[in-house]
């Protein structure tokens, strides 16, 4: 082995950080621990029997091409299906705007790869999805956090930040938002706020990255228009995925962007993995075309709705005064805010001792804030563990209060 690896690691590699969630989850592997930590869909939603049939049908009908390399852009039929779905949502796009990725995490990495030079400014929410923060950090981005209000990212704070940066001769590469059931906060951005964010982005001539991993998982309220549809000029880039609404193990995602951006994404992807797995793309095509997706997503929504309601009921019954939480209209997460004097990192250790786990909220803050917050996943555990886990967590918080 050579004497000093640090001298040959790239600047990017040296700047990479381990995922706080992945590291915390190692502590939650004990089967006795009730884990609200992972961003995991329930295995009960996985359509195993349907997929058994589809595997055989795909191999019988299209085995030779399904097992071969595919186009970097993705399977043509899958791109057409995704394109048609978004066209129904008001997007002015064609197949050429759609690139299949190895889940949306690869999309985040590819966007960082083609846009970010070390030291470039990127605007993100306070809080924001850890996977996005990690991807941008890996390429040396200088992330600037924009605070939230009850409607999500503050358009006023965004404009203040952009005006200040402009006065300093700085222009960020893009603003990163998760408008539907935001991870980790669970907040949905109403249409008026989406329009405000778009107006600010146009004024300062910057791109918007709209991460939309589980928009389909709405339990209540009205669907809000996609930011891409509200703009429709190519200033917005969308990231989507089947991970939370179909199966995460397939690792199928997509990116929708102006053709000039999509073309550059294809080139970047060619040097990353050549193509997303052909076989699972063809399975996804058949799953959607044969109507399985529409049937299963309704079951998933019903299940998650019940689990969310059960958790909210448990919070109302057991959480001490001074603790607040969001009430998401869909998705997989909600966000707890503790009294300001409390530290969720210290609380995590006590929670593990009581066999319950969560993710510390500070992991989602690019500015080291959020120390008195935590993210809770309600989709993964059973209803029985949901109830028991809430009781344990509430007791840990009560015992830690002054």
348/393 Cα distance (integer angstroms): 10
**Coil, strand or helix at 71:** coil
Q: CA-based Rg of the chain, rounded to a whole angstrom?
A: 21
Q: Is there a single domain that holds both residue 272 and residue 393?
A: no
- Residue 53 lies inside a defined structural domain of this protein: no
Q: List b or e across 22-44, with b for residues whose CB sees 16 or more CB atoms inside 10 angstroms.
A: eebbeebeeeebbbbbbbbbbee
What is the CATH number for 76? 3.40.640.10
Q: Is there a single domain that holds both residue 269 and residue 370?
A: no
Q: Which residues are paired to 148 by β-bridges?
A: 153
| Residue indicated by tokens 């928009």 | 215
Supply the pLDDT for residue 26.
Answer: 64
Q: Is there a single domain that holds both residue 276 and residue 128?
A: yes
Nearest to 378 by CA among 131, 44, 40: 40
Using a 10 angstrom Cβ sphere, with 0-12 exposed, 13-18 middle and 19 or more buried, the burial of residue 361 is: buried
Supply the pLDDT for residue 64.
Answer: 97
Bridge pairing between strands 253-256 and 236-241: antiparallel
Mean pLDDT by 10 residues, the chain (402 residues): 77 75 62 90 97 97 96 98 98 98 97 98 97 96 97 98 98 98 97 98 98 97 97 97 97 98 98 97 98 98 98 98 97 97 95 94 95 97 96 97 83
76/99 Cα distance (integer angstroms): 10
Instruction: Provide the H-helix boundaries in 251-291.
Output: 259-270, 278-289
Which one of 238, 272, 291 terminates a domain? 291
Q: Is there a single domain that holds both residue 328 and residue 368?
A: yes
**CA–CA distance from 29 to each of 26, 40, 132, 262 (Å)?**
6, 14, 24, 39
Supply the pLDDT for residue 23.
Answer: 61
Q: Is there a single domain that holds both residue 96 and residue 127?
A: yes
184/24 Cα distance (integer angstroms): 16
Q: Which residues are paired to 24 by β-bridges?
A: none
- Residue 123 lies inside a defined structural domain of this protein: yes
Supply the pLDDT for residue 24.
Answer: 58
Q: Is there a single domain that holds both residue 22 and residue 164?
A: no
CB 131 within 8 A of CB 248: no
What is the CATH number for 342? 3.90.1150.10
Report whether the peptide linkage leading into residue 127 is cis, meaning its omega lies within 30 degrees of zero. yes
Q: Is there a single domain that holds both residue 217 and residue 135?
A: yes
Note down the domain range covering 213.
67-291
**CA–CA distance from 376 to each of 270, 307, 335 (Å)?**
37, 12, 6
Which one of 291, 325, 343 terminates a domain? 291
CB 346 within 8 A of CB 369: no
- Residue 54 lies inside a defined structural domain of this protein: no
Supply the pLDDT for residue 13.
Answer: 80
pTM equals 0.95
345/31 Cα distance (integer angstroms): 22
- Residue 266 lies inside a defined structural domain of this protein: yes
The count of structural domains within the chain is: 2
| Residue indicated by tokens 């997706």 | 293
Supply the pLDDT for residue 148.
Answer: 96
């Amino acid at each position: 082995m050579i004497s000093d690896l640090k001298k040959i690691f790239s600047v990017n590699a040296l700047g990479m950080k381990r995922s706080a969630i992945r590291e915390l989850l190692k502590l939650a592997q004990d089967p006795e621990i009730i884990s609200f930590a992972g961003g995991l869909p329930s295995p009960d939603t996985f359509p195993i029997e349907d997929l058994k049939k589809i595997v055989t049908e795909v191999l019988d009908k299209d085995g030779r091409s399904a097992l071969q390399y595919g186009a970097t852009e993705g399977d043509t039929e899958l791109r057409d299906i995704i394109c048609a779905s978004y066209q129904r949502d008001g997007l002015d796009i064609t197949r050429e705007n759609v690139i299949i990725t190895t889940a949306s995490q690869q999309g985040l990495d590819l966007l960082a790869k083609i846009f970010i030079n070390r030291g470039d400014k990127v605007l993100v929410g306070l809080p924001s999805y850890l996977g996005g923060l990690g991807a941008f950090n890996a390429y040396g981005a200088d992330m600037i956090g924009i605070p939230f209000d009850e409607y999500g990212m503050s358009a006023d704070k965004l404009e203040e930040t952009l005006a200040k940066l402009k006065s300093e001769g700085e222009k960020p590469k893009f603003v990163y938002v998760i408008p539907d059931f935001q991870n980790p906060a669970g907040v949905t951005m109403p249409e008026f706020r989406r329009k405000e964010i778009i107006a600010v982005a146009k004024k300062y001539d910057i791109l918007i990255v709209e991460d939309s991993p589980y928009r389909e998982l709405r339990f209540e309220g009205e669907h809000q228009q996609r930011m891409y549809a509200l703009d429709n000029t190519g200033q917005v880039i969308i990231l989507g995925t089947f991970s939370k609404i179909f199966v995460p193990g397939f690792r199928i995602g997509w990116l929708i962007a102006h053709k000039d951006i999509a073309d550059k994404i294809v080139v970047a992807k060619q040097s990353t993995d050549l193509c997303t797995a052909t076989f699972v793309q063809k399975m996804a095509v058949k799953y959607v075309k044969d109507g399985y997706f529409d049937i299963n997503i309704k079951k998933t929504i019903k299940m998650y709705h019940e689990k969310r309601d059960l958790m909210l009921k448990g919070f109302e019954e057991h959480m001490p005064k001074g603790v607040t939480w969001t009430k998401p209209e869909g998705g997989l997460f909600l966000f707890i805010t503790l009294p300001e004097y409390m530290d969720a990192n210290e609380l995590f250790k006590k929670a593990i001792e009581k066999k319950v786990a969560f993710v510390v909220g500070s992991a989602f803050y690019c500015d080291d804030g959020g120390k008195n917050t935590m993210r809770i996943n309600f989709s993964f555990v059973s209803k029985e563990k949901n109830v028991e886990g809430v009781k344990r967590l509430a007791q840990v918080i009560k015992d830690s209060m002054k």
